[in-house]
Structure 1
Amino acid sequence: MNRIRALLGVFVAGVCATTAIPGVALAAPTAPYTVLTVDLGLHHPAPVSGSGVYDNSNATMDAAASGGDWLRITALLPDQYVRVDTAAPAGQTWTVGQTYQTVRAGRGAGEALFDMSASGKSCASGSGSITVREVARDADTGLMTAFGASYEFRCDRDVEVMTGEIRWNSSVDYVAAVADPGRLSFGSVDVAEQRSRTVRVRAVGSAPSTFGAAGLVGADAAKFAVTGDTCAGRTLASGAECTVTVVSKATSPGHFAAALRVPDNSTPGHRSVPVEVSAIRSVVGTYYPMTTPTRILDTRTGNGGVKGKIGAGRKIDLQVAGRDGLPGTGIGAAVLNVTVSGPTANSFVTVYPGGEAVPTASTINFAKGWLGSNHATVKLGADGKVSVYNRNGETDVVIDVVGFYAGDESVAPERGMGAQVQWYEPYRVMDTRTRGLISAGGEFNAWIDFTRYNPKVRGLILNVTAVNPQQAGFLTVWSGEGPRPNTSTVNYGAGKVVPNLTYVKTMSCPSGSCNGATGAARYRLYTSATTHIVVDLVGVVDDGTEVDGMRFTPMSPTRIVDSRTGQGLPAALGPNATGKVTAPSAMLTDATQVLAMNVTAVAPTANTVVTVWPADTGRPKPTASNLNPAPGQVVSNGVLGVLGPQDAFHVSNLSGSTHLVADVVGTFQVYAGTAAGTRRSTAKPTVAGSGWAPSTR
């Protein structure tokens, strides 16, 4: 056998690695050419793992020819190789310009041999074609001394083909290009995110490459898009490069694959780069309720590591992450109920991310001797802590945790998909004033029936109000799963009207209960003193799949309204007055629907009602309330500030005049993975009914 070998270069890139593109243009190859090109396209990465162009610039090229017009050409790399074996049909010699059907083994009549392998990996079967461009022979022996061809090769049962060029001692020019990266993997991408990646394409053939407009092909092509293309319409000499930018835009979970196809003047007519993405439905911003509310701070007893009142201008740091069933990492914000007890002066308490400076904001405002509570959603500091600051005097502070929002994906393996939030314009679901007082120690079940939506309900967001209790006491609201927890939801004084926002985990009404509303969302209430109770629905916590569900993004408390200084509202609101507040654009995205706020009424001149609802919708003020302050009080409550189409909300005052303050602690935005309607969609699952009855357990 006449064996011809040529040592033609050194390795600079491997077939499994991304082909490196030098920062400077290289001179075009010169004849004679010894080169092997592989373009995988949508072909499964076997036996080779990626596209490549192998010649004397990046590999050691080894070639051997023998009788029967057989040729083996190998690109040798330090730790692997890529090899092609080809031969004319049995009993024939190659004819320039002819295309032959190929098989990997067992040639039949008129079938040529073509096989590809890489580092010992090969195909069980193979088929395709080869088109001969050049053959030169030794005049004495008749053995080949030069060969040029283009090929298509299908490995095993793959429906796609790989393509390429073969040149051995050839004078026939070829068009070739390399892409960096050679396989475009976006990795795991949230369906709410459109991640962008750029591919650099460099001409490396002996003849210039002329490119057309890039596009995407394959069954999953719609999951990607070309957003930038500097290759289209250009002709690039060897060493010159252009770029194509691709974005992943899958809006449903799954693994998706396509190919970026760049038309060119090569024999196959294009260059292809495999593209893939694993689209996931992220848990970031979803809500995880506690089975029952859990007390994590009580300065009266030392629960939480601090015993004794918090002094004037002092703050304590409270560990939240890792406490009492909460995960040690992955919490973005905790949903808390904050209670003050026995303050020695008029003051306010602010709960904020641990490690940050005290913000210009308040969580709960109170008078000397006051007992009360307020809902607070608080972003956690980097160490999983929150800080609790008291402005004046001394006060005990009690904090109960009712749930948390995920800050990253680390909570998913153990707890699965979290819940999303659906906002409701305040909707009254219970008012005991129509049936009579609830006696001290009274415990009862309540429910809301959403009919078809019931199986998706995991919790409710309620504004719960104690109305004219006969003595000081507290309300506790919980799922009813297990005994009543040692926590409170609303703390009230005798004769007051005291509301508080709360998140409550729900259970399904069993058959035969809830006045026949089987499957309705059920929760339980307890009051320590005789009182009336009013409950308004302001939101639903779903199973994470309902259309237009919202995720939460926490932020440090930020003041957007203070009518005392003209911020947000120009002055105090008078009787039956309505103000309009436009949310700061820096807080918003196109998907933002709701501001999580703490709203405070400051020293109203009469008993009044404060109500917040979306502006610019044409809908009237709801009959429900967010705050019910008495004259001279400074009273706060958590509010879901639903934004209208112009990013604004209304706030109204019923009687007298009152100043108002609003601090934003985060935003809710529609999640792209479940989005279906417009940004300001108002289609909500219908409340078919609600009720309450004494608990029978």
Structure 2
Amino acid sequence: MHRIRTLLGLLCAVAGMTAVVPAAAQAAPTAPYTALVVDDTQVGGDDTGSWDGSNATMVPMLNDGDQFALEARWSDAYGPRSTRVDVWPPHGETWQEGRSYPASTSPGPGQARLYVNAVQCVSDGAGTVWVRQVHRDATGVVTAFAAAYEFHCANRTEVVDGEIRWNSDEGYSAVLPSGPLDFGRVEVGRAPVTRTETFRSAGSGDAAFGTARIEGADRAAFAITGDTCSGRVLPTGEVCTMTIAGAPTKGRVQTASLVMPDNTGYGQRTESLTVEGWEGVIGTYYPLTTPSRLMDTRDGTGVVGRPIAPGETVELQVAGRGGLPTGGLSAVVLNVTVTGPTASSFLTVYPADEDRPNASSINFPAGWLGSNNVTVKLSANGRVKVYNRTGHTHAVIDVSGFYAGSNWFQPTPPLGAQYHPLTPRRLFDTRTDGGAIPARGAREGFVDFGAALSPKVRSLVLNVTAVAPAKAGFLTVWSGEGGVPTSSTVNYAAGKVVPNLVVARTRACTDCGRGYALPAFSVHTSQTANVVVDLVGVFDDGTVADGLRFTPVTPSRVVDSRTGLGTSGALGAGVTRAVTTPPALVTDATRALAMNATAVSPTTATVITVWPADTGAAKPTASNLNPAAGQIVSNAVLTGIGPKDRFNVHNHSGSTQLVADVVGSYWLYPATASGSAPSATSPFVVLSAGHRAR
């Protein structure tokens, strides 16, 4: 008959004692050791600890046939506690020192039994027992035993591991982690949340650590930002720490593991890391259904009804007007028009709560009529200031969309658009395709990106140029839905070549000759004019791979060839210069820039083209600026940057000075990132494009 013997007489001193010594202050035990180490943090247990006669009552139990169990009993704030580990050799065998045994809760031939009451499995569990020491008396009865173990439930990877010592002189290392780290709900793309993991040395000998690492399919969501453990030998009772940052890359729960190699029997600590990512709207774009007028100094809309005086700054309320939300905006997209200036000058549009920057938003000569697309950061109360350098001028401002700056408001649709810069491409040129658009006439343009992507387009970024109009007038670009809006996109004088950038909301064209809807837009001209339209980017529905989000900045000058900033000296005919973006304006996630580019006094009429550098892409056929000789003229530019944070600028004819001010940057949103290289081609490849009269 099997008989279990409780071996209280073989315990270390103070064997009836309950825990009174704080865990961090526990001294190293002395030989002979009767100790039990359990680490059940991986399974979410609460029995992790290192127990010996100094902090628990140790109850060893030896049955016939080397069947051994060790139980630790102690008390804490929750009352009496205990934990126990049973190890039996395979049926018909005895423990052999130096051997490792596969083990199970339901052992079979050649398999040991291992039971750890710190974890309860739904079905069987399995593990390994490493026998370090077995001493016997003259009759073959075990008198000392030492082993390490690891145990896990069937079909699970989470491990409970530890050490067993009974009356043994075999030393052991024990490392007690603080447990799994849960970072909670964190918005994708925002500042990471940090948590701290501690490791306590609690064995008879020092703990020695290797180099910590993060493993798992979602390891990119976590980073080690502080480490006092790796490569360290930690004396018993001392603690080291690891600081981990959680920054989700997807809008779901993401998990990984912090792995710390050590000199314990199992060889490492593995603690789970969990963060729940959620997708906010910060940095996404929302186009208005139709552009809306916010300011007109001619009739007093938004400001006093008179020209802006030399050196004067006027302040304009933007948020809450023209269909914009009252708050939660980081920046707006404006079309700024100057009419009737009495002198050559420039306007600077900037946040109302900041000092005026050394930058310009639109440059113009006396008597000029023209517009420029201006993306501008808003003040905390949703306002901008407009500064006029010299002379008097009227100014008109229309708003076409906004970028979300917070998640507090409830936009429609709930997720805004993300940007995809493209290699600039000409969609149509009426000089060679259909002829000039007659006065009060319109053309509808459409682009085919394929059946999968075309329905996902919400807006197109276009550079629209009026060429040699018969009379002074304007172009209006809109979705084509409803009548022509009262706002303007390009304001032109007779016979001039005048470009402007526009973020054009699209409509779904179901009769454009495809079996699926195509993104379409319309261009109206008040006077007979040729029109050139170049495609430079796409705003999606927020779901397409490698979408970019926007962060506005106070306008910052990055190029002034007159002073050697960014590039030195005028650009000659056929010259291409690569400009490096200042480090303060980019991060590793930056893929594109929003700029205002100005050609200063070219010696002849020319064309300026901007595109990403260091990608191997040839100069596009499209243009960004079309200045006449001696003109100082601006245009907004949204351009991708290459892997070295550079963009190219090419001048076609004569020579010209160049100025460029950055107003914001577009960064890769982790939740839609594909993992491709920064220079990878956009998924929006133009299959075909066309236009037709309206």
Q: Tell me if both proteins adopt one fold, taking TM over 0.5 as the criterion.
A: yes
2:403 aligns to what SS in structure 1? strand
Equivalent position of 2:446 in the other structure: 447
AA of the residue aligned to 2:445 = A
Determine if the alignment matches structure 1 residue 8 to structure 2 residue 19.
yes
CA drift at 1:337: 1.3
Which whole-Å deviations, capped at 9, do the CAs of 1:485-536 have from their partners, x for residues lacking one?
A: 33221122233222100011212220xx224474222112222233222211
For residues 2-61 of structure 1, give each alpha carbon's deviation from its aligned partner in whole angstroms, at most 9, with x where no partner exists. Answer: 99964432668xxxxxxxxx7xx87435689897754235x442xx3685557899xx86
C-alpha displacement of 1:335: 1.8
Q: Is residue 422 of structure 2 the alignment partner of residue 424 of structure 1? A: yes
| 1:39 and 1:272 in contact (8 A); partners too | no
User: Does the C-alpha gap of structure 1 residues 335 and 151 become closer, same or farther in structure 2, counting only changes over 3 Å?
Assistant: same
Change (3 A) 1:306 1:242: same
Classify 1:66/1:613 alpha carbon distance in 2 versus 1 (closer, same or farther; 3 Å): closer
Q: Assess, with a 3 A threshold, how the Cα gap between structure 1 residues 556 and 87 changes in structure 2: closer, same or farther.
A: closer
Distance 1:116 1:433, change over 3 A: same
Determine the structure 2 residue equivalent to 1:514: 512
**Residues 654, 439 of structure 1: alpha-carbon distance in 2 compared, 3 angstrom cutoff:** same
Post-superposition CA distance 1:530-565 (Å, at most 9, x none): 322221111122334444443333222122233343
Looking at structure 1, the residues matched to 33 and 613 of structure 2 have their Cα atoms a distance apart, in angstroms, of 73
1:476 maps to a residue whose letter is T
CA distance, structure 1, for counterparts of residue 104 and residue 313 of structure 2 = 80
Q: Could you tell me how far apart the structure 1 residues matched to 2:103 and 2:658 are?
A: 82
Distance 2:441 2:229 in 1: 75
Q: Secondary structure at the match of 1:624?
A: coil
Name the SS for the 1:465 alignment partner. Answer: strand
2:174 maps to a residue whose letter is A
1:603-624 CA distances to partner (integer Å, 9 max, x unpaired)?
Answer: 4454443333445667664443
Question: Which range is displaced more, 545-554 or 519-528?
Answer: 545-554
Helix, strand or coil: the match of 1:451?
coil
Question: Which amino acid in structure 2 is aligned with residue 472 of structure 1?
Answer: A
* Aligned twin of 1:690: 689
Deviation at 1:446, TM superposition (A): 1.6
**Residue 639 of structure 1 aligns with which residue?**
637
Alignment check: 8 A CA contact 2:296 2:305 kept: yes
Corresponding residue of 1:582 = 579
Residue 376 of structure 1 corresponds to: 374
The separation in 2 between residues aligned to 1:129 and 1:671, in whole angstroms, is 43
Q: What residue number does 2:651 align with?
A: 652
Q: Secondary structure of the residue that 2:599 maps to in structure 1?
A: strand
- The corresponding residue for 2:11 is none
Cα 1:56–1:62 shift into 2, 3 Å: closer
How far apart, in 2, do the equivalents of 1:467 and 1:685 lie?
28
The answer as to 2:202 corresponding to 1:204 is yes
CA distance in 1, matches of 2:217, 2:322: 48
1:486-635 to 2 correspondences below 5 Å:
486-510=486-510, 513-516=511-514, 518-573=516-571, 576-586=573-583, 587-614=585-612, 621-635=619-633
Q: Are the aligned partners of 2:469 and 2:530 in contact in 1 as well (CA < 8 Å)?
A: yes
Moved more, 608-617 or 167-176: 167-176
Q: Is the 8 A contact 1:457 1:540 kept in 2?
A: yes
Asked if structure 2 preserves the Cα contact closer than 8 Å seen for 1:343 and 1:395, the reply is yes
Please state whether the residue corresponding to 2:522 is helix, strand or coil. strand
The structural deviation recorded for 1:271 is: 2.5
Deviation at 1:679, TM superposition (A): 2.9
Distance in 2, Cα, partners of 1:336 & 1:285: 17
Q: What amino acid is the match of 1:528?
A: S
What is the letter of the counterpart of residue 360 of structure 1?
A: N
Give me the CA root mean square deviation: 4.8
Q: More displaced, 535-544 or 268-277?
A: 268-277
Most deviating of 615-624 and 356-365: 615-624
Partner SS for 1:433: coil
What TM-score, normalized to structure 2? 0.77
**Given the superposition, is the C-alpha separation of residues 79 and 682 from structure 1 closer, same or farther in structure 2, using an over 3 Å criterion?**
same
Give the corresponding residue for 1:397: 395
Output the CA distance in 2 between the equivalents of 1:467 and 1:548: 35
Q: Deviations over 1:671-697 (max 9, x none)?
A: 5542444333356643232222233xx
The answer for the alignment partner of 2:234 in structure 1 is: 236
Check the 8 A contact 2:421/2:682 in 1, yes or no: no
**CA–CA separation in structure 1 for the residues paired with 2:498 and 2:161:** 75
- Cα deviation, residue 316, structure 1: 3.1
**Deviation string for 1:360-384 (max 9, x for gaps)?**
1110122344332110111233343
Give the 3-state SS of the residue equivalent to 2:487 in structure 1: coil
Verify the 8 A CA contact 1:96 1:134 in the aligned structure 2.
no
Task: Indicate the residue corresponding to 1:18 in structure 2.
Answer: none
Task: Report the CA distance shift for 1:427/1:27 in structure 2 as closer, same or farther (over 3 A).
Answer: same
Counterpart of 2:552 in structure 1: which amino acid? P
Contact persistence 1:192–1:251 (CA under 8 A): no
Alpha-carbon contact 1:55-1:75 (below 8 Å) kept:
no
Aligned-residue offset at 1:232: 6.0
| Further displaced range: 199-208 or 237-246 | 237-246
Q: TM-score normalised to the size of structure 1?
A: 0.77
Residue equivalent to 1:313: 311
- Please say which of residues 212-221 and 421-430 is displaced more in the overlay: 212-221
Letter in 2 for 1:28: A
Question: Measured at CA, do residues 182 and 314 of structure 1 come closer, stay the same or move farther in structure 2, by a change above 3 Å?
Answer: farther
Evaluate the alpha carbon distance shift between residue 454 and residue 484 of structure 1 in structure 2; reply closer, same or farther with a 3 A threshold: same
From the superposition, tell whether residues 390 and 77 of structure 1 become closer, same or farther in structure 2 (CA, over 3 Å): farther
Output the amino acid matched with 2:294. Answer: I
Give aligned-pair identity as a percent: 47
- Tell me if the contact between 2:18 and 2:75 (Cα under 8 Å) persists in the aligned partners: no
- Structure 1 counterpart of 2:484: 484
Distance 1:631 1:319, change over 3 A: same
**What secondary structure does 2:355 align onto?**
coil
Cα distance, 1:203 vs. partner? 0.9
Give the counterpart letter for 2:20 in structure 1: G
Deviation at 1:663, TM superposition (A): 1.4
**Contact kept in structure 1, 2:642 and 2:678, CA below 8 Å:** no
Task: Check if 1:350 corresponds to 2:361.
Answer: no
**Native 8 Å contact 1:590 1:679 kept in 2:** no
Alpha carbons 2:146, 2:164 under 8 Å: kept: yes
Closer, same or farther: CA 133–607 of 1 in aligned 2, 3 Å: closer
After superposition, what is the alpha-carbon deviation per residue over 1:371-413, rounded to whole angstroms, capped at 9, x for unaligned?
Answer: 3211011123334332222223443433222223344555688
Name the counterpart of 1:298: 296
> How far is 1:427 from its partner?
1.8
1:456 aligned residue: 456
Q: Superposition pairs for residues 41-120 of structure 1, below 5 Å?
A: 43-45=42-44, 48=45, 51-52=48-49, 73=72, 76-78=75-77, 83-84=82-83, 115-116=117-118
**What's the secondary structure of 1:455's corresponding residue?**
helix
Distance in 1 between residues matched to 2:202 and 2:534, nearest whole Å: 70
Q: Distance in 2 between matches of 1:82 and 1:175?
A: 23
Give a deviation string over 1:138-174, Cα, whole Å, max 9, x none: xxxxxxxx99987766579855342345789999865
**In structure 1, what is the equivalent of residue 436 of structure 2?**
437
Q: Distance in 2 between matches of 1:384 and 1:319?
A: 6
The 1-side partners of 2:73 and 2:486 are apart by 76
Specify the SS of the correspondent of 2:575.
strand
Structure 1 residue runs without a partner (length 5+) = 13-21, 90-94, 105-109, 136-145
SS of residue paired to 1:650: strand
> Is the CA contact (8 Å cut-off) linking 1:610 and 1:654 kept in structure 2?
no
Whether the 8 Å CA contact 1:612–1:651 is kept in 2: the answer is yes
Amino acid at match of 1:390: N
Q: Report the 3-state secondary structure (helix = DSSP H, G, I; strand = E; otherwise coil) of the residue aligned with 2:359.
A: coil
| Cα distance in structure 2, aligned partners of 1:81 and 1:297 | 76
Distance change in 2, residues 1:256/1:344 (3 Å): same
The 2-side partners of 1:222 and 1:367 are apart by 53
Residues 380-389 or 214-223, more deviating: 214-223
Counterpart of 2:359, as a letter, is A
Distance in structure 2 (CA, Å) of the matches to 1:629 and 1:254: 50
Alpha-carbon distance in 2 for matches of 1:599, 1:220: 41
* SS at structure 1 position matched to 2:431: helix
- 169, 181, 205: which one pairs with 1:184? 181
1:466 maps to 466
Shift of 1:248: 6.5
Whole-Å Cα distance in 2 between the matches of residues 276 and 288 of structure 1? 32
SS in 1 for 2:565: coil
